[in-house]
Amino acid sequence: MALRVFLHIGLAKTGTTYLQQILWDNRDELRRQGVLLPGFGPRQHLWASGVVRGESNLSGRHADAPRAWEVLTTEANAWEGTVVISHEFFAGASAEQARDAIAAFSGAEVHVVVTARDTLSLVTARWQEFVKNGATTPIDGYPDSDVTDPQSAWDWGTMDLGDVLRRWGAHLPPERVHVLTLPKPSEPRQTLWSRFAGLPGIDTSSCEAPDSVANESLGVVEVELLRRVNADLQGFHKPVDRGTWIRGYLAQGKLLPRRGEKFWPSPDRVQYLRERGDAAVDFVEKQGYHVLGDLADLRTPEELPPRRHPDTVSDSEMLEAASATIAAMLTDLRDLRTERRSLLAELVEAKQRTGPGVRVVLVRRFPVLRRVLLRGERKKSAPRTS
């Protein structure tokens, strides 16, 4: 039976990728220290968050996804020590789902850990991440409702610190609910890791930790271009397609390297987010949760550096970004076609050196090879003309 379980439930865009990379990179060392990271990797913790939140069609992610939470809890409950489970989408669970998740670790001392930042910067960062995943919602319309859905990882249920703590903190004494603020700009990035690691008692001197993990945001022109492209995309509905092509190839691969300008929502929206964030900070203070860092850093400053709004992006800026992006994509297409021809030539050559059985396997595995071989046979059998 686990002695202590630390559930790191979010919030998204608060250094979660950074912390998770350190945890998984040092998994063997953590185990040596008596700290278990159950499962095979971050993806299983993502799946487990979907199970806890009742996400529909989890089997569409992977055949093993519906059993992910069971796998983690079984492994955790068999461990005689400390357990850490981490994914930012756990934050969206309803109060009842959070209660059941905590109860799954019978007999263990369960802690909830929430990494946080001010609401304005968090929502702004989450909106551009939403667009990276295929969304078309304008920045001032995100999130589009105060109604939260545990199955959604993109609404207020995963971003409103006060609301998350009401749902998850209701089942634990306040000293076992930990709020970690992000380091100040003047502090080293590893400050966040030090704060986090201190909770389960991890000896950081024995762990390798990068200074940072790249998870940058798009510029104002680039995110607006992507938002408009999303409206014309068809067939990119599966998470793997959105992650691979929209987020990975187009956003991260082609638009992010342009290093565009930062942006804000409209002044009215900024004020609304500021007030909502202040209410969350007031709730944390009232409840007496354990805070690591400066709680005042979770309030949006009254004075902000000037930034553009996505609505100010001009047609000429859009055209310039689109032209450069299409040119880069065309280069990729040419390179892929050259590579494809080279691979097909290798397959044809391999066909000449193998028996019929192997040729059948190759043709079944690579349907395009069938067409190539058929063209070759037709050329051989075609009558010659003088």
Q: Are strands 109-116 and 35-36 parallel, antiparallel or unpaired?
A: unpaired
Structure confidence at residue 148 (pLDDT): 86
Q: What angle do CA 360, 365, 371 make, to 5 degrees?
A: 75
Structure confidence at residue 361 (pLDDT): 60
Model confidence band, residue 60 (pLDDT cutoffs 50, 70, 90): confident
Structure confidence at residue 147 (pLDDT): 81
Q: What is the 3-state secondary structure (H, E, C) of 198-253?
A: HCCCCCHHHCCCCCCCCCCCCCHHHHHHHHHHHHHCCCCCCHHHHHHHHHHHHHHH
Domain residue extents for the chain: 4-213+266-308, 218-261+314-349, 354-386
**List of residues 6+ apart from 68 with CB closer than 8 A:** 39, 44, 45, 47, 48, 50, 51
Model confidence band, residue 386 (pLDDT cutoffs 50, 70, 90): very low
141, 36 Cβ separation under 8 angstroms: no
3-state secondary structure of 194: helix
- Asked if pLDDT for residue 137 goes beyond 80, the answer is yes
Q: What is the spatial distance between Cα 337 and Cα 204, in angstroms, rounded to a whole number? A: 47
pLDDT digits (tens, 9 = 90+) for 242-298: 999 999 999 999 999 999 999 999 999 999 999 999 999 999 999 999 999 999 999
Q: Domain 4-213+266-308 adopts which CATH fold?
A: Rossmann fold (3.40.50)
pLDDT digits (tens, 9 = 90+) for 186-220: 998 899 999 999 999 999 999 998 866 556 789 99
265, 141 Cβ separation under 8 angstroms: no
> Which CB contacts under 8 angstroms, 24+ apart, belong to 230-235?
230/131, 230/134, 230/135, 230/136, 231/136, 233/134
